[in-house]
Structure 1
Amino acid sequence: MAGVIASVRRTLLSCTSLARSSYIGFAATVLTAVTPARAEAAMLDAAAELFDLNRQELGTLTITAGVLGFTVLATIQLMRTRMRAAACEARLRDDIQSLQIESDRFRALLFTEPQVLISWAAGDNRPQISGDIALLVPPTQDGPPQPHRVLAFGTWMAPEPALRMDHAVDALLESGESFVLNLVTSTGRSIEAMGRAVGGQAIVRIRELSGLRRELAEMTDRYRALHEETEMLRDFAFAAPWPIWTRRANGELTFANAAYARAAEATSITDAVQHNVELLDSHDRDALTRGLNDSAAFNARLPIVVGGERRMFDVYAQKVRGGSAGMAIDVNEAAALKTSLARMADSHRRTLDQLSSGVAVFDEQHRLAFYNDSYRRLFDLDTAFLDSNPDESTLLDKLRAARKLPEQADFRAWKTRLYDAYRAVDATKDVWYLPDGRALSIVTTPNLEGGVTYLFDDVTEKLDLARRYDALITVQRETLDNLAEAVAVFGSNGCARLFNPSFTRLWNLSEEALQQQPHIETVIDWCRPLFDNGATWQTLRTAITSIENRVPVPLKLQRKDGSVLACLTMPLPDGATMLTFQDITDTENVERALRERNEALEAADQMKIDFVHHVSYELRSPLTTIIGFAHFLSDPTTGPLTDKQGEYLGYITSSTNALLAIINNILDLATIDAGAMTLNLGPVDILKAIDAASEGIQDRLARDHITLDVQADAEIGQFIADERRVVQVLYNLLANAVGFSPQQSTITLKAERTATDIVFTVIDRGPGIAPEVQEKVFDWFESHSNGSRHRGAGLGLSLVRSFVELHGGKVRIDSVVGQGTTLTCSFPIDQSQQRHAAE
């Protein structure tokens, strides 16, 4: 400041008065703008001293010069700003130069080792990549590697680490999550990838590991892998279903899994370890300790009680560093399975022994491991020789010497081909023709575990049967061709496979056309000129081509030429269908005539039955009147009768009663024949029924001096039936016996109870019935008077059989001519149960 004021003083001394005044005002203004207030005051004092002016005068001068000073004030301010800007720019240049020097120093320090830096600015997805790119991406033939290829991690790393790197970088960019990864490139370099969020930027540094850091990284990876493997093994040991444990050298339990705790009946794994719960008993533990001390390993099958059940375990233990480890595997199921497998194998051997086929099994050493008795008998070999497990070569040589192998020009080559089965994959079949005339079918099957199984079958009879079958087919072909019946066989596809000449003649078909195996549709079209019934042909087509419901279908064809054919489709076992046609025109005509005659006879028989039924009703009405008047005349109140009139009236009464019985029997038979007869079922007292039936023939017994012998147990009891019809059956049986019995003879009536039936038997000593007419005695109006004293209507035994069968019983007649007749009737004890069972 003092220098500035001295300069102003020198300027003022050299100026005029007016100029001085102007300059003083200008200098004061400038100094006021440039310097502080005290500088202005000092300037004014210097001016007053030079010009001998007081301060008022100087003030006046200053105001005078103010106008001029203000003019240049702006210029001075602009100069001042430019000077400050120049000074600031100089300082900034110095700072930038210093920062550049410091940046170069840091960059040189940062890249003293090979590494790659990748940085992402905030809000910018385009990263800045710097460093030794060749560290990660090798150069190509086109030139140095491109920096952007560094971000394609999969191009310079394996897929798994590349995926880890991708996820780590994504987490860093999205949430600023830091990471440190030790990776290996595709070229085998060990690298460290470190990611950080610094100053609003995401920075990833990738550098190659070497020396101690590389060893540390590798050791870290090994530790991590070992830790993962250990955890994996530990998790497996915890989850394993077998008891697993580890112990220290002093026997203290250090680890046990859940299966160990369950098997040792501990409350938990912690309880088992803390209380050193033992799994084995003391004797087995001592054996395990001795085994570990002697051979560092122990393996034995020991019993362990688990849940109150004694089970077998395979216990494995191994001495390891610091103690021992063990495992127990439950082999109860395996032992049972092994036993079952042994039983199954033994069963299979026993089964093979029962086979008619010869079986021989050779192991991988070509030695006989198994044979059955059929094999021994097939080749007539010695049991002791086979039990010695001979090799296949020795066995074949022995069979060749006994001439029990096929004759071969080169036996050695043949045997070598036989040995190829040991290296084969699929089974092979062959037939051996032995010198003794036998033919053996041999199936050679390679075994999965090595060796070969031979299966021998004597097919001599089979081949002989095949030859006979061929001959039989030829005979059948000739037989078929000579049949009068038309035959055609259609296959499962509906095409004609077989036919005979009768078929072609019957339908006027061409043999050459049928040999082309036409379809049934075509054959039907050829046959339509003679028979054009679409429904019948559709039935035949369905029967031939149908897959299900294959049943014989009989048909009758009335052809246009007036002939009648009987047609039958017969399904064959192989899926084919045989179609036969037979000309039954003559048979049909005869059958038609017979049918018409039979219908006429049936109509006549029905007319006879209707006539008898009608006449019986017509006779019954006047007969009832006659009986009524006869009883009226016999009544004393009507007046006295002469002896002759009484005798005649007795004849009328007996005749009308007999006629009424005959009419009633005819009506009963007609009712039964019409199916209108019903039974009034109820309990029947057997003895009372016999008495009621016997009472009706007492007069005839007395007249002919015939004795009735009733043989029935007093406790025979009752059974369920229609009492009226049972009495009627017994009466007719006794009446028939009286009619054929000679005087002074005996009739026997037996009543017996069995488990299911009541059996009545009536025996007479009459002339008997010839065998050829025994069945006819049960027919209507069949009356045989041979040996009888009267000729009846022939309805009694017909009614007997009808009433017994209506009850569900049976009637049997046994008679020998000259010795008498036995009639047996059996009634079911409970008629209601009998009818229920029938329904």
Structure 2
Amino acid sequence: MDFSPTALAMIGLLLAAWTVGAALLMIRAAQRSQKFEVLKRSSARLSGMLEEAPAIPMLVLADGRLEVHERLAGWLGLDSPPSFLSELDGGASAGLTTAQLEDLTQAIKVTQRTAAPFRMSIKLDGAGRSLAFRGCAADPKVAPGGAAQVWIFDFTESEGELALLREQVSRAQSDFTALVGLIEAAPIPMWFRGKDANIKLVNRAYVDAVAAQSADEVVSKQIELLESHQGKSARDYAKEAAASGETIERESPATIDWQRRLLRVSDLAVGDEGIAGYAIDIEETEQIARKFRAFRQAQRAMLDQLSVGVAQFDADQKLAFANKPFIRLFDLPFGIVSDHIPFDRFLSDSREKRRTPEVRDFPAWRRERVEWFSLNEAVEEAWPLGAGQHLRIVGQPMPDGGLVLFAEDRTEQLAESATRDTLLRTRTAMLDSLFEAIAVFAPDGSLQLWNRSFAGIWGIEPEALDGHPSADKLIEAIAPNLQKSAHADAIGKIIRSATLDRKEKGGRVELAGGRTLEFAGVPLPDGNGLLTVLDITDSQMAETALRERNQALEEADRVKASFLANMSYEFRTPLTSIGGFAELIQSGAAGPVSPQLEEYVQAILDSVNRLTDQVENVLDLSQGEAGMLPLSKKRLELLPFVTGIVREREQAISDKGLSLDLRGNAGGAIDADPRQLSRAIGHLLDNAIAATDRGGKILVDVARTKDGARIVISDNGSGMGKQELARLLDGLRVTEDGKVERRDGLGVPLARQFVEAHGGKLTLESRKGVGTTALIMLP
């Protein structure tokens, strides 16, 4: 078939166009193949990068299906990658918990509905990971239809580091707060200066010290606490510390609370930030140091007054102090303390002066004493010296490495100890020779001392006392020997009373053998108690005999009283009858009376009167001695009463030619028995008349005193000596053979008994050739 040129041209053009198109297709195909390889390599590279990426993308579709990388299963501890959102909960040991899943589901739903992004952190307890979820609405190109795209980040390591950082930050903040609080609460002023040495920060103590209102005021006004010291201000010292980088300390005065105080100031550089400083009040420390120095001087002055020698060696074993007794004991020069001699040299010098014991190896002995410095407790030694002198040496190590040496002269004490031992032996011998049994008990009741007869008097063995038994054990040993066992408690009470109660008590017990013991507990000044025991068996027997004799005497006294009462009647009745009959005969009732009979009757009456007076005197004297003298007191005017007694003897005074001087003041009245007092005064007056020669003088003086009455009867007769006056006062006296010896009348003894029966007192004074004075004092 023939084609036209046009057709051929068209065919040629078509072939050319096809060829070109084929070429173009081939070129484009080659280009696409190249782009695919590039895209493949890029996809592989992106897939590798995604495998190593710290985040995993998760696409949550609207129906809850998931498109997620399989690495998420490893992060969540699941066996296979989840296909739905609900599969993120893998149970108790994997995946999210139910609560975490609910929170994540709720957040994803909100994002799907509102396109609002969310962030969430979840810690997986089972997998031990911490995951961060960052969600947002998915790009429609990626997943149309309201899907949510969630990026999951594993920040487990970051979480640990963050927790550590948070803990460190929290601790740092806490430490900083505590440090600030500590600085603020510090009782000492503290401050901080900048590089320019200006104050930047102060604490409350600084504010109070400078009497400012606040720390801001101190900083704003740059109020300095410290004064200039040695020509430098506080700022200068701070700059010096900043320049040197070292701590600068000094002591500086300051005025705090209107008082001058001494402060120890420290300035130290704090890196490149500035200079910190603080001040410590050492005023009290300085005062204590001054007081200590004064105390040390006073103590050393006091040590000089002791009788014990004291020396102190410092840690370098050199003499630092020695009191006067120490210097005297060791014959040291008084300036030796300032020389600070070593201890070993002191021992050597003392040896040369024979003030140390004689030893064979002195260097070894000296080294042993030098070791006292390193001991932990005191050492005591006795140093026997020449001439019989003894020293007691005590070495007391000190905490600072020094040594205090005490030296005491025991020569006199040893001599006194020997004397004391002699006295103790003498005391033991003396106690053993006593008739009484003696024992000394300590306050705790133990037996301390006893004599030889103590064990025997109680009937126990002497060996039972060798162990110094207690009072209870001693009483147990004594109890079987007592007649009544209950008396053992009484002995224990006596011992306790003497030792503990410090009271003296006594008692009496009877032993089973019939002996009677009397004992007493006496507290001693040293706190012990003394028990004395005496065997009173013989005295008890004598006491029984005396008691029986006393009963006999009482019976005799009763018989005597009955005899006196009967004799008073028996004597007076016959005499009254004789006198009555004589008066009847004299009156002529029995017939005429001749002159001779008249004379006989008158003689009988005179004898009856004299005998009646003598009987009255004897009876009164006997009753007075027996304490049975009857009194019937009345109120008497003394001067008229005495005047009546004197007038009854007026005839006798006139017959002897005597002068009478009666004196007295009216108005004095006393209570007395008229009859007995009249007889007492009459007897004294009769004795005065009888003892005064013719022409003599008798004085009767009656006076009222503050306590009663006074009657004086005085004469200037012959008087009496002491023996005659004693015989006159005795009256009747019973001799050893039972006979009655009559003395010089009964008037004076009767007068004395009458006066004493009234509660008064009769006193006689007489001188030979001068006269006699009788003084009656009545209440």
Counterpart among 313, 319, 341 of residue 390 in structure 1: 341
* Alpha-carbon distance change, 751 to 449 in structure 1, aligned in 2, over 3 angstroms: farther
* Alpha-carbon distance change, 752 to 791 in structure 1, aligned in 2, over 3 angstroms: closer
Q: Does 2:529 correspond to 1:587?
A: no
* Alpha-carbon distance change, 219 to 257 in structure 1, aligned in 2, over 3 angstroms: closer
Q: What secondary structure sits across from 1:429 in the alignment?
A: strand
Q: Which amino acid aligns with 2:68?
A: L
Q: Which moved more, 1:404-413 or 1:451-460?
A: 451-460
Shift of 1:758: 12
What residue in structure 1 maps to residue 752 of structure 2? 794
Query: What are the superposed Cα offsets for residues 85-119 of structure 1, whole Å, 9 maximum, x if unpaired?
Result: xxxxxx99xx9995226859999xxxxxxxxxxxx
Q: Which amino acid aligns with 2:218?
A: V
Q: Is the 8 A contact 1:709 1:747 kept in 2?
A: yes
Q: Is the 8 A contact 1:244 1:260 kept in 2?
A: yes
Q: Which moved more, 1:459-468 or 1:701-710?
A: 701-710
Q: Does 2:218 correspond to 1:273?
A: yes
* Alpha-carbon distance change, 608 to 789 in structure 1, aligned in 2, over 3 angstroms: closer
What residue in structure 1 maps to residue 489 of structure 2? 538
Query: What are the superposed Cα offsets for residues 143-196 of structure 1, whole Å, 9 maximum, x if unpaired?
Result: xxxxxxxxxxxxxxxxxxxxxxxxxxxxxxxxx99999xxxxxxxxxxxx9898
Query: What are the superposed Cα offsets for residues 19-67 of structure 1, whole Å, 9 maximum, x if unpaired?
Result: xxxxxxxxxxxxxxxxxxxxxxxxxxxxxxxxxxxxxxxxxxxxxxxxx
Q: Distance in 2 between matches of 1:128 and 1:612?
A: 143
Counterpart among 282, 294, 302 of residue 351 in structure 1: 302
Query: TM-score scaled to structure 2, two decimals?
Result: 0.54
What residue in structure 2 maps to residue 421 of structure 1? 372
* Alpha-carbon distance change, 396 to 330 in structure 1, aligned in 2, over 3 angstroms: closer
Q: Is the 8 A contact 2:308 2:407 kept in 1?
A: yes
Shift of 1:768: 9.8
Shift of 1:363: 1.8
Q: Does 2:377 correspond to 1:377?
A: no
Q: Is the 8 A contact 2:521 2:529 kept in 1?
A: yes
Q: Distance in 2 between matches of 1:693 and 1:412?
A: 108
What residue in structure 1 maps to residue 99 of structure 2? none
Q: Distance in 1 between matches of 2:334 and 2:237?
A: 46
Q: Distance in 2 between matches of 1:693 and 1:277?
A: 114
* Alpha-carbon distance change, 489 to 313 in structure 1, aligned in 2, over 3 angstroms: closer
Q: Is the 8 A contact 1:299 1:317 kept in 2?
A: yes
Q: Distance in 2 between matches of 1:463 and 1:814?
A: 67
Q: How does 1:608-647 map to 2 (within 5 A)?
A: none
Q: Which moved more, 1:360-369 or 1:487-496?
A: 487-496
* Alpha-carbon distance change, 476 to 197 in structure 1, aligned in 2, over 3 angstroms: farther
Q: Is the 8 A contact 1:769 1:815 kept in 2?
A: no
Q: Distance in 2 between matches of 1:329 and 1:244?
A: 12
Q: Which amino acid aligns with 1:100?
A: H
Q: Distance in 1 between matches of 2:189 and 2:774?
A: 92
* Alpha-carbon distance change, 275 to 397 in structure 1, aligned in 2, over 3 angstroms: same
Query: What are the superposed Cα offsets for residues 230-278 of structure 1, whole Å, 9 maximum, x if unpaired?
Result: 41443333xx2x4555567899765554445555445x43685378496
Q: What secondary structure sits across from 2:487 in the alignment?
A: helix
Shift of 1:539: 1.7
* Alpha-carbon distance change, 314 to 557 in structure 1, aligned in 2, over 3 angstroms: same
What residue in structure 2 maps to residue 632 of structure 1? none
Q: Is the 8 A contact 1:737 1:747 kept in 2?
A: no
Shift of 1:433: 0.9
* Alpha-carbon distance change, 99 to 707 in structure 1, aligned in 2, over 3 angstroms: farther
Q: Distance in 1 between matches of 2:465 and 2:365?
A: 49
* Alpha-carbon distance change, 292 to 198 in structure 1, aligned in 2, over 3 angstroms: same
Q: Does 2:406 correspond to 1:461?
A: no
Q: Which amino acid aligns with 2:261?
A: F
Q: Distance in 2 between matches of 1:435 and 1:778?
A: 78
Counterpart among 157, 180, 184 of residue 231 in structure 1: 180
Q: What secondary structure sits across from 2:545 in the alignment?
A: helix
Where do 5+ consecutive residues of structure 1 fail to align?
Answer: 1-90, 108-120, 130-175, 181-192, 617-651, 681-688, 712-721, 804-810, 828-839
Q: Which moved more, 1:252-261 or 1:310-319?
A: 252-261
Q: How does 1:596-675 map to 2 (within 5 A)?
A: 596-598=548-550
Q: What secondary structure sits across from 1:405 in the alignment?
A: coil
Q: Which amino acid aligns with 1:290?
A: K
Q: What secondary structure sits across from 1:586 in the alignment?
A: helix
Q: Which amino acid aligns with 1:450?
A: G
Q: Distance in 1 between matches of 2:327 and 2:680?
A: 76
Where do 5+ consecutive residues of structure 2 fail to align?
Answer: 1-59, 77-87, 97-118, 124-128, 136-149, 239-247, 569-608, 734-742
What residue in structure 2 maps to residue 645 of structure 1? none
Q: Distance in 2 between matches of 1:122 and 1:768?
A: 153
Query: What are the superposed Cα offsets for residues 192-230 of structure 1, whole Å, 9 maximum, x if unpaired?
Result: x989899999998334999xx999999968964773464
Shift of 1:400: 1.1
Shift of 1:748: 9.4
Counterpart among 227, 249, 252 of residue 285 in structure 1: 227
Q: How does 1:745-784 map to 2 (within 5 A)?
A: none
Q: Distance in 2 between matches of 1:445 and 1:759?
A: 84
Q: What secondary structure sits across from 1:534 in the alignment?
A: coil
Q: Distance in 2 between matches of 1:361 and 1:826?
A: 84
Q: Does 2:399 correspond to 1:441?
A: no
Q: Distance in 1 between matches of 2:764 and 2:90?
A: 127
Q: Does 2:263 correspond to 1:315?
A: yes
What residue in structure 1 maps to residue 500 of structure 2? 548
Q: How does 1:668-747 map to 2 (within 5 A)?
A: none
What residue in structure 1 maps to residue 311 of structure 2? 360
Counterpart among 401, 414, 431 of residue 352 in structure 2: 401
Q: Distance in 1 between matches of 2:436 and 2:480?
A: 21
* Alpha-carbon distance change, 329 to 531 in structure 1, aligned in 2, over 3 angstroms: closer
* Alpha-carbon distance change, 512 to 760 in structure 1, aligned in 2, over 3 angstroms: same
Q: What secondary structure sits across from 2:408 in the alignment?
A: strand
Counterpart among 92, 99, 118 of residue 68 in structure 2: 99
Shift of 1:491: 7.5
Shift of 1:371: 2.6
* Alpha-carbon distance change, 586 to 299 in structure 1, aligned in 2, over 3 angstroms: same
Q: Distance in 2 between matches of 1:443 and 1:556?
A: 54
Q: Distance in 2 between matches of 1:518 and 1:443?
A: 37
Q: Which amino acid aligns with 2:183?
A: R
* Alpha-carbon distance change, 505 to 799 in structure 1, aligned in 2, over 3 angstroms: closer
Q: Is the 8 A contact 1:403 1:435 kept in 2?
A: yes
What residue in structure 2 maps to residue 32 of structure 1? none
Q: Distance in 1 between matches of 2:92 and 2:493?
A: 81
What residue in structure 2 maps to residue 206 of structure 1? 157
Q: Which amino acid aligns with 2:543?
A: E
Q: Is the 8 A contact 2:483 2:510 kept in 1?
A: no
Q: Is the 8 A contact 2:639 2:664 kept in 1?
A: no
Q: Distance in 2 between matches of 1:814 and 1:301?
A: 101
* Alpha-carbon distance change, 395 to 179 in structure 1, aligned in 2, over 3 angstroms: farther
Q: Which amino acid aligns with 2:176?
A: H
Counterpart among 495, 503, 509 of residue 557 in structure 1: 509
Q: Does 2:512 correspond to 1:567?
A: no
Q: Which amino acid aligns with 1:312?
A: R
Q: Which amino acid aligns with 2:756?
A: S
Shift of 1:465: 3.7
Q: Is the 8 A contact 2:254 2:263 kept in 1?
A: no
Shift of 1:339: 4.9
Shift of 1:338: 4.4
Q: Is the 8 A contact 1:304 1:312 kept in 2?
A: yes
Q: Which amino acid aligns with 2:185?
A: F
Shift of 1:533: 0.7
Q: Which moved more, 1:694-703 or 1:432-441?
A: 694-703
Q: Which amino acid aligns with 2:517?
A: L
